[in-house]
Amino acid sequence: MKIKAKIKDDVLKCTVQVTHAMTTDVSAKEEGGEANYITNMIAKVGDRVVIEISTSQFVSKDPDFKFQVKANEIKKGDEMTVTWTDKSGKSETGTGKIK
């Protein structure tokens, strides 16, 4: 997982690049396997949740999630933690410094 986070004009702009196959129901049936895709992602700065995203199987393989939020009390040098969870229950957590 790669996290890019930058504050500009009191707006926190983030891009989170995730490596995941994002197997849909249709492709899983064709391959004889189980569908598995990211269902939830949470981004935090400290203990504060800045965004929580629910997704479906209709997100591309190795997705990039982009979002903007008002920076409020978030400042350069703070650490952002992002955790995603997929349909099988697997999760991954990554961190990145805010520039």
- The whole-angstrom distance between residue 86's C-alpha and the CA centroid of its chain comes to 11
Maximal CA-CA distance, the chain:
50
Q: What percent of the chain has pLDDT over 90?
A: 94
The CATH code that applies to domain 2-97 is 2.60.40.10
Q: How far apart are the first and last CA of the chain?
A: 17
Confidence band, pLDDT 50/70/90 cuts, at residue 10: very high
Task: Provide the pLDDT confidence category of residue 45 given band limits of 50, 70 and 90.
Answer: very high
> Which pTM value belongs to this model?
0.91
From CA 79, how far away is CA 77, in angstroms rounded?
6
Backbone phi and psi for residue 6, each to the nearest 5 degrees, phi listed first: -145, 140
Q: Pairing between strand 79-86 and 2-8? A: unpaired
Angle at 56 between CA 54 and CA 62, to 5 degrees: 95
